[in-house]
Amino acid sequence: MASKTTVTLEPLHHRGQDCLALRFPYSKPLVDVVKQIEHIRFSKTHQCWYVPQRKDLVGEILNTLKGIAWVDYRALRNQQQESVAPPSSKKNMPSAVQAILRQMEEKLHLKGYSKSTCKTYQEQFKLFMLYYQPKPPAQLSEEEIKMYLLHLVEKKRISKSAQNQAINAIKFYYEKMLGQQKATYWLDRPIKEFKLPLVLSEEEVSRILKQVENLKHKAILYTIYSAGLRISEAINLRLTDINSDRKTVFVRNAKGGKDRGSLLSEKLLVLLRTYYKQYRPKEFLFEGQHGEEYSARSIQKILKTAVQKAGLRKRVTVHSLRHSFATHLLEHGTDLRYIQTLLGHNSSRTTEIYAHVTKKGMDKIKSPLDNLDL
């Protein structure tokens, strides 16, 4: 890049979320740099790169592009000046909305919903209430609820996953908090997209894990892959959840409030013993600087760095290790029913998706093209 290109950083509302848009004339070298930014995506609709609107990501963008491109963020600064206290902030939020959100939070906790689910439901229902302010949600008709959902789909163009989150939050309020019957409140669910998970080969997983030198970082990624854990499950592991005698990892209060057991690898056990002697965690297996549970974001950064060092150009996430765990078990002959138990899936249909991505048996099938006399 002989001369610096100007990258315009501006607000963007995309798929129901506040995002930051990066706009610049096409340049392959610059695109390669931009792709290194965490959570970066390209929108065909808006013809720009974008990330969630977060302060830490603004800093990462500026650091990544430093010395490579000029960053014009006047539009973002103007937006911040115009909305010093946004309508959705607690300071300006109507007291009636705040009261209902507090009640919803209490009800969600009483019913044992996870922290992430509680946060998602409250955020989605807050947007719903603000849309119809000052009319109380208890006075809204079924038709008005459907109109709001139609607004999310047609105007906001939110994803099917976000649509389901909005529906679940609304249903929770009317059915769990107001006690209405499902028969009196009905919403058509969006058709769920069938997308195959990103699965790494065993060689790729090995390449990634070999890039990690820090003992604690290595122990975390080894644990996630070897036991097929979600990131939330890994950071909530206690010392007592590792059973060296039975060779099991106990996963407590996982998705849906369920407990389950998973595999404890011999290699992982050796690594964890070395890790314990050096770090001496007291409560959580993987602790932060002050003894709190380890940060999920830190784990994501550890993996991202390892993937880059391994030279992989795939969009690998921590959850990709869980998908790979299940697929590799299937390829080595493990019955789907056991994999379902290890993953903690309620339905076997959820686990069956790994049958679509496994290479088991595929090497024995020949393309019909190979049978042609060409």
Angle, helices 215-227 vs 202-210, to 10°: value is 160
Is residue 345 annotated as a catalytic residue, yes or no? yes
Catalytic hit among 126, 217, 218, 322:
322
Is residue 332 annotated as a catalytic residue, yes or no? no
What are phi and psi for residue 349, nearest 5 degrees? -65, -35
Alpha-carbon distances, residue 309 vs 33, 220, 305, 348 (angstroms): 15, 18, 6, 36
Is residue 77 annotated as a catalytic residue, yes or no? no
Catalytic hit among 13, 156, 304, 319:
319
Catalytic hit among 160, 255, 260, 304:
255
Catalytic hit among 126, 230, 323, 328:
230
Catalytic hit among 113, 121, 225, 354:
354
Is residue 322 annotated as a catalytic residue, yes or no? yes
Cα–Cα nearest to 170, from 154, 191, 151, 193? 151
Residues forming the active site: 230, 255, 319, 322, 345, 354
